[in-house]
Structure 1
Amino acid sequence: MVQISQRSLPEHIQLAGVHPVLQRVYAARGIAEASQLELSLQGLLPFSLLKGITAAVELLLPVVTQQKRLLVVGDFDVDGASSTALAIRALRLLGAQQLDYLVPNRFDFGYGLSPELVQVALPMKPDLIITVDNGIASHEGIAAAQAAGVPVLVTDHHLPAATLPEAAAIVNPNQPGCEFPSKAACGCTVVFYLMLALRARLAELGQLPQPAPNMAQLLDLVALATVADVVPLDYNNRILVEQGLRRIRAGHASAGILALLQVAGREPSRIIAADFGFAIGPRLNAAGRLDDMSLGIECLLTDNAGRGLQLAQTLDEMNRDRRDIEQGMQAEALQYLSRFEAEDNLPTGLCLFQPDWHQGVIGILASRIKEKVHRPVIAMAADEQGMLKGSARSIPGLHMRDALDEVDKRAPHLMKKFGGHAMAAGLTLHASGLAEFSRLFDDVCRRHLSDAQLQQRIETDGELSPAEFSLELAQLLRWGGPWGQAFPEPLFSGDFRLVQQRIVGERHLKLVLQPKGSDLALDAIWFNIDPAVWPQPQAEWAHCVFQLDVNEFRGRQSVQLLIRNLVAQA
């Protein structure tokens, strides 16, 4: 059962010139004054607040001024791909020419700069290795590289362990002693800030290329990575996302991003933050999940529109394959869980494993199952060495990386390695320890999560009056973001008469709704419903949670409700 409640509001709401409903929405997200809605680049935090950035710039200078050879070591998700592409694009703009990149194939090397990956990197003869969106946990790989005479510059945003790697320099807002206030910066943002600092240093030295490059042209990549990596949209991140969106809407995005929008059926001039997460992100991620993220990076690096479209179409096909694999895995996971639900003894912390599950898709599977059962979930797959690779997703109230650390302290022999964030993490587990690990993980989750926290809650922004179901308000809400993690899309609730119900596209419920006490008829759609439950011809009324959205069809715009939850009433 889902509990629906209204977000708490401060007593006084006053934002001059802002629609009353939007004022209510902003106030519930902590916006207290109009200046917090000013998302200009002048509001960005200065790069000087990042610990280690001066040393990092000095390491990078010879790459530009002496054409030293740099190797970028990335990661196989959207943030890693965007970070890699941004590093190379920025350094090219600043005059560097000896640039290459390497992304570990998740099936052969796993995550980060491992000693095995260093052996692949050394024949490329780099003078410097820079890690992007990884490295803070790569103690052994960094030691191996530096023992071979290659210094390593770490740029990362993941939480560090008790000790830091012995890198030549580290830039990570989450490292001890860093005063950078935006701890929610994604990996690509950290790289972007480093490139801003490098540009400033080159200007001081009088060695900046002319005309001076504008780093803002890279914000489409930063915006994509920020949303796709599901980091909280604090004020600094909202500026970065909004500025990236504005560039894309103006047609100034990279060829690859424009091509990905094209194959996803999105119009660049109308793109919103959610399109990064639902349209572009999954297609890029498909490369890293099923094959090699180099395909996604090449798409983000190309300046040729035709080449970009060709790569985007390949990524789109891979994403279709990924969806087919995921649906099969999800059906198996739900069948396994049904035996617990039948006995009403579902574990608090779930560990799921099948020998034939695809290692690249377990992260999505963990997210899907977490959404269904509202519990921390770890989905696992076997690698070729007989180890289990796990992808973990959490719920509010349980810090996933800390939970894994607690398991590790109680049984240090179980996991080979682990790392991540509060809401998502990864691990490598000895297969023989699966049963013990599952028991310990469930125990840790039970001790940290109350029954109330295991109850799924949906917070809304209240009800709308009949007059507020307007195209004007729908447009204001659409462009009032960017919305995302920790700054959620506006949700409303209310009671409606179910005028019509019908299935479209196999799993979507198309509705006509009538607000209680009104004769207004509104189109609505609920995606990915359970066909065994809906439609319900006997249901006359329902309590709905919805977004007020703009539907565009053949050039005509109209109000449409996007249903997020619907409970039939007698």
Structure 2
Amino acid sequence: MTSQRTNQSTGQSTGQRRSRPPPSACEVPVRIRRAQAAANPVQSLDALLHRLHRLRGESGPPTTALADLLPTSAMLGLDAAAELLADIIDAAGRITVVGDFDADGATGSAVAILGLRALGATTVTHLTPSRFEHGYGLSPAVVDAASAARPDLLLTVDNGIASLAGVERARALGVPVLITDHHLPGAELPAAAAIVNPNQPGCPFPSKHLAGVGVMFYLLVATRSVLRRRGRFGNGRAEPNLAELLDLVALGTVADVVTLDGNNRILVEQGLRRIRAGRCRPGLRALLEIAGRRVEQVTARDLGFAAGPRLNAAGRLDDMGLGVECLISDDPVRSMLLARQLHALNGERREIEAAMREQAESIVEALAAARDPLPAGLCLYGEDWHQGVIGIVAARLREHWHRPVIIFARAGDGDLRGSARSVDGLHMRDCIDAVDKRHPGLIRRFGGHAMAAGLSLRPEALDAFRAAFAEQVRQELGEAPAERELRSDGLLPGALQTLRTAEALRVAGPWGKGYSEPLFDGVFEVSDVRVAAERHLKLRVCAADGQPLDAIGFNLAARRGVVDKRMHLAYRLDVNDYRGLRLPQLVIEHLQPPSDD
């Protein structure tokens, strides 16, 4: 990935790996904006926590009690699906779980397998489609592969809502399909035996942000109720405690970056509590430990940035069946062996990603130098880019250039597979749908969410799609915003820049998309500057009213040249746990000279 080559999208040579990031002339300006309600600094930790929750729409610390979950009765199709699943279990039928090749699909598959077995299902197998051979969803080829296990029911997890042809193939083989999904449906729903999806038309379920693993958890809870009513439990057959699966529900929910509304925060917080108490699956424990995380202090960030990427690596580079096996294994030794394989795959993924990102950044820099402004939406392609990593690269470029981004790679069938990431204000799936309606036949397949989507094109359609996509984004957003905005929770007084505050913030969430992790800003004196591991910027800083603190900016080493004696920092307050020594640390999201200088 580092040898000389010519990129097919621009004709320019990408060359050897170069130092990053792009020149300052190409950088997107950043503005730090404090919330209006944070104009005055708070004076106590309790007041700080109250303000943080209030700024996120809560009058106080939100409920995280399991009893406050939305009821199963509110979800369209759930009762019928639970009856169908209970019938199969009562008849000792064979169930094949068909998942997706990301962390949500893997955790959802694991929850389905473990939950069904706990409910009494005698034969449960699983099949995870290959990203490279089958593509996404329940395709006819996947149905044919699954039929080898002679299933009495195909149960999809995190996919299926767009699988019209796959469901028809299953019906032709006489195999009913129960779809559980959370993706947005198209104009037509598959002719499945039952569909559970909070985003299907007519579903009154208030939370539209359940991840695929959350939908599966709800189905298991509803199925348990049906089996309980039928008298399956008792007489020596214990009723399973499905809350034991919440560690995996939390992992999948966080890793899929769905909005942490009130219902999802309950699921995540309950899962985190189980993990911290040492009651998590051996495979999840192994993933956290191999990433250097202390299980008893785990946070949602650890799930999203440590366990999730290692699990995802299997689906990106190899076979997500490896990830599912890691999560369902009851043997700690085998779980650790599998986790080590996932860890190694993640290291390989990072190397591939770094090379691809450098090439993609060079393309954007060339565009920035050749035209002003950049296209409102970026659409890039590299002839030898890895299909399994395009989503991560799209997300990285989206963050850096503050624009919707689609990254394409060539698939094994000759088509181009694209992974899209959006910014606030642009619904990515609807944007691609609008392009499809205006240019029929340009896009072969697509699907997804507001912030992420996937699509397929014929190679000869790329240039036309690139132009149509940029124009659609421009119509919806106007010209790309001139600056990126960081929303700050305000000034954190020096008296609160402490280990106690940092530890309280770690467990005050869970934080995530839609319930953002606290971000503060302020001006600091800088007494020491150095670069760590060639990528990270390390500072020693002190606020006018505080004590000296260490600060680190991950992947900000190239900003070394802008650091002066006084800097305005946007940062998170976190705990630096090094060899048992716990100290408060600022994690820098952005730094710039003070505006008063």
Asked if these proteins are the same fold (TM beyond 0.5), I'd say yes
Larger relative contact order (Cα-Cα within 8 Å, sequence gap ≥ 6): 2
CA shift at 1:450, angstroms? 3.1
1:501 pairs with 524, 529, 541, which one?
Answer: 529
Secondary structure in 2 aligned to 1:188?
helix
For residue 202 of structure 2, what is the aligned residue in structure 1? 177
Whether 1:92 aligns to 2:117 is yes
Contact 1:460–1:493 (8 Å) recurs in 2? yes
For residue 352 of structure 2, what is the aligned residue in structure 1? 325
Taking only aligned residues, the RMSD between alpha carbons, in angstroms, comes to 1.8
Stretches of structure 2 that go unaligned for 5 or more consecutive residues are: 1-28
Q: How has the CA–CA distance of structure 1 residues 524 and 276 changed in structure 2, closer, same or farther, with 3 Å as cutoff? A: same
Q: How has the CA–CA distance of structure 1 residues 103 and 331 changed in structure 2, closer, same or farther, with 3 Å as cutoff? A: same
CA shift at 1:148, angstroms? 1.4
CA shift at 1:520, angstroms? 2.2
For residue 187 of structure 1, what is the aligned residue in structure 2? 212
Secondary structure in 2 aligned to 1:9?
helix
CA shift at 1:470, angstroms? 1.9
Deviation string, structure 1 residues 8-37 (Cα, Å, up to 9, x no partner): 4399999xx971111111111001245xx2
2:278 pairs with 251, 254, 257, which one?
Answer: 251
Whether 1:564 aligns to 2:589 is yes
Whether 1:446 aligns to 2:471 is no
Amino acid at match of 2:436: D
Secondary structure in 1 aligned to 2:325?
helix
Secondary structure in 1 aligned to 2:387?
coil
For residues 333 and 452 of structure 1, the distance between their equivalents in structure 2, rounded to whole angstroms, comes to: 19
For residues 57 and 65 of structure 2, the distance between their equivalents in structure 1, rounded to whole angstroms, comes to: 19
2:329 pairs with 278, 302, 305, which one?
Answer: 302
Q: TM-score, structure 1 length as denominator?
A: 0.96
Secondary structure in 2 aligned to 1:19?
helix
Secondary structure in 1 aligned to 2:132?
coil
Contact 1:397–1:453 (8 Å) recurs in 2? no
For residues 482 and 260 of structure 2, the distance between their equivalents in structure 1, rounded to whole angstroms, comes to: 25
Deviation string, structure 1 residues 39-84 (Cα, Å, up to 9, x no partner): 1101101111110011101211133211101111100000000010
Contact 2:227–2:233 (8 Å) recurs in 1? yes
Amino acid at match of 1:96: A
Amino acid at match of 1:355: E
1:212-291 correspondence runs (5 A) = 212-291=239-318
Contact 2:98–2:157 (8 Å) recurs in 1? yes
For residues 339 and 370 of structure 1, the distance between their equivalents in structure 2, rounded to whole angstroms, comes to: 17
Secondary structure in 2 aligned to 1:366?
helix
Q: How has the CA–CA distance of structure 1 residues 242 and 253 changed in structure 2, closer, same or farther, with 3 Å as cutoff? A: same
Secondary structure in 2 aligned to 1:389?
strand
Whether 1:196 aligns to 2:224 is no
For residues 562 and 424 of structure 2, the distance between their equivalents in structure 1, rounded to whole angstroms, comes to: 33
For residues 31 and 519 of structure 1, the distance between their equivalents in structure 2, rounded to whole angstroms, comes to: 30
**TM superposition outliers: structure 1 runs of 4+ over 4 Å:** 10-14, 451-454
For residues 557 and 324 of structure 1, the distance between their equivalents in structure 2, rounded to whole angstroms, comes to: 31
Percent identical residues: 50
For residue 41 of structure 1, what is the aligned residue in structure 2? 66
For residue 388 of structure 1, what is the aligned residue in structure 2? 416
2:165 pairs with 137, 140, 165, which one?
Answer: 140
For residues 394 and 306 of structure 2, the distance between their equivalents in structure 1, rounded to whole angstroms, comes to: 20
2:496 pairs with 431, 445, 468, which one?
Answer: 468
Q: TM-score, structure 2 length as denominator?
A: 0.92
For residue 460 of structure 2, what is the aligned residue in structure 1? 432
Q: How has the CA–CA distance of structure 1 residues 519 and 181 changed in structure 2, closer, same or farther, with 3 Å as cutoff? A: closer
Amino acid at match of 1:254: R
Secondary structure in 1 aligned to 2:217?
helix
For residues 451 and 7 of structure 1, the distance between their equivalents in structure 2, rounded to whole angstroms, comes to: 25
For residues 421 and 319 of structure 2, the distance between their equivalents in structure 1, rounded to whole angstroms, comes to: 23
Stretches of structure 1 that go unaligned for 5 or more consecutive residues are: none
Amino acid at match of 2:175: V
For residues 482 and 519 of structure 1, the distance between their equivalents in structure 2, rounded to whole angstroms, comes to: 27
CA shift at 1:121, angstroms? 1.6
For residue 400 of structure 1, what is the aligned residue in structure 2? 428
For residues 173 and 497 of structure 2, the distance between their equivalents in structure 1, rounded to whole angstroms, comes to: 65
Secondary structure in 1 aligned to 2:503?
helix
For residue 316 of structure 1, what is the aligned residue in structure 2? 343
For residues 282 and 243 of structure 1, the distance between their equivalents in structure 2, rounded to whole angstroms, comes to: 21
For residues 351 and 267 of structure 2, the distance between their equivalents in structure 1, rounded to whole angstroms, comes to: 34
Deviation string, structure 1 residues 298-341 (Cα, Å, up to 9, x no partner): 00010000000000000000000000111110111011111111
For residue 534 of structure 1, what is the aligned residue in structure 2? 560
Contact 1:51–1:171 (8 Å) recurs in 2? yes
Contact 2:41–2:493 (8 Å) recurs in 1? no
Secondary structure in 2 aligned to 1:26?
helix
For residues 112 and 452 of structure 1, the distance between their equivalents in structure 2, rounded to whole angstroms, comes to: 33
For residues 129 and 12 of structure 1, the distance between their equivalents in structure 2, rounded to whole angstroms, comes to: 57
For residue 112 of structure 1, what is the aligned residue in structure 2? 137
Deviation string, structure 1 residues 466-513 (Cα, Å, up to 9, x no partner): 212122221211110100001000000001111110111111111111
Report the more deviating stretch, 266-275 or 120-129.
120-129
